[in-house]
A and B are shown apart, each in its own frame.
Chain A
Amino acid sequence: MTGSTIIFYLLAALTLVSGIISVSTRQIFRAAISLLFSLIGIAGLYFWLNYQFIAAVQIVVYVGGIVVLIIFSIFLTQQAGEKLSKQKVSRKIFSVLAVFCGFALSVVQIYQHVFYVTPEQAVDVNVLNIGKKMLSANEEGYALPFEIVSMLLLAALIGCIVIAMREKPTPTTEVIPDELKEETE
């Protein structure tokens, strides 16, 4: 057991245990905090795999952005101290059964499959190579998906504003006839 192996198992345990707490606790705020630790564990796994850029993006976008957004929406929509409603036992049992069957099936498939490793020389995944490849417009580059994702982000931004905008109370344009007006007064 080297130090690297121990760190790997610690990160895996952190990710899975906080993931399980996040889907099973009945207090929604506790679920959000467990999700935070699960995402931090995944970022640690990216660091362990030597993909520092992805780990940094994971921490910035997920931990710093999405979890904070979820916590704010919990504050906006939940009453303090209120627990989530209890689920039916039959639904829980059938969910556990379905999930366990799917998990067993995929794990058996994974361990039976033999993966082939490419014999070519490994490329260094530093920020310089990532940036060059992302912004190059030749057939190996990713300039087109980059532009499409930026359009998608713009559309999502405008869509969020439009959806969450409070509608103004529309001024009543209908003309009230005189006799009705006297009645209402």
Chain B
Amino acid sequence: MEPGLYHILFISAALFFIGVYGFFTRRNLITMLMSIELILNSVNLNFIAFNKYLWPNKMDGLFFTIFIIAIAAAEAAVAIAIIINLYRSHKSIDVENAEELKY
């Protein structure tokens, strides 16, 4: 069976829920960030698949993907800066140890 839109949507849904599972079960901030990256990638795959199979006369999905990648890069950089700052003050990056936001 030739793979088409439905196959890619299936992969994308599976990847999204793998990321959600990681976000539920992990308690380490870096691994939670990795789960968020998986979720963002599944969304990108969806946009590209819709652009390719449903609206091949436009390029909107492609541009959404480009902008999501740029924003995800900025988000990862800011999150890692926050994590390193938290590690410096708490000596740990578990979410249980980061209860108070200030100081």
Interface residues of chain A, those whose CB is within 8 Å of chain B, are 2, 5, 8-9, 12, 15-16, 19-20, 22-24, 28, 31-32, 35, 38-39, 42, 45-46, 49-51, 53-54, 57-58, 61-62, 65-66, 69-70, 73-74, 76-77, 84-85, 87, 91-92, 95-96, 98-100, 102-103, 106-107, 110-111, 115-118, 120-123, 125, 129-130, 133-134, 142, 145, 149, 152-153, 156-157, 159-161, 163-164, 166
Contacts and interface: CB of A to CB of B under 8 A. Distances in A.
Nearest to B70: A149
B48 to A, nearest CB: 6
A15 B18 CA distance: 11
Contacts of B28: 28, 84
A61 to B, nearest CB: 5
Q: A19, A42, A130, A134 — which one has the most chain B CB atoms within 10 A of its CB?
A: A19
A85 B58 CA distance: 48
Contacts, number: 204
Contact of A163 (B33, B34, B73, B85): B85
Interface string B42-79: 00110011001111111100110111011111111110
Given A107-B10, A117-B53, A123-B58, A23 B15 contact: no
A98 B24 contact: yes
Contacts of A53: 62
Given A77-B84, A129-B59, A22 B22 contact: yes
Contacts of B78: 156, 159-160, 163
17 contacts: A5-B3, A15-B11, A16-B11, A22-B22, A28-B28, A42-B41, A95-B25, A99-B17, A103-B13, A123-B59, A129-B59, A142-B63, A152-B71, A156-B77, A159-B81, A160-B77, A160-B81
A111 B24 contact: no
A92 B71 CA distance: 31
Contacts of A16: 11, 14-15, 18
A130 B59 contact: yes
Given A66-B73, A120-B56, A156-B75, 19 more contacts: A23-B35, A39-B41, A42-B44, A54-B48, A61-B70, A62-B37, A69-B77, A69-B80, A70-B80, A73-B80, A95-B24, A99-B24, A110-B10, A118-B54, A130-B59, A149-B71, A153-B73, A156-B74, A163-B82
A9 B11 CA distance: 10
Instruction: Give the interface SS of chain A, mostly helix, strand, loop or mixed.
Output: helix
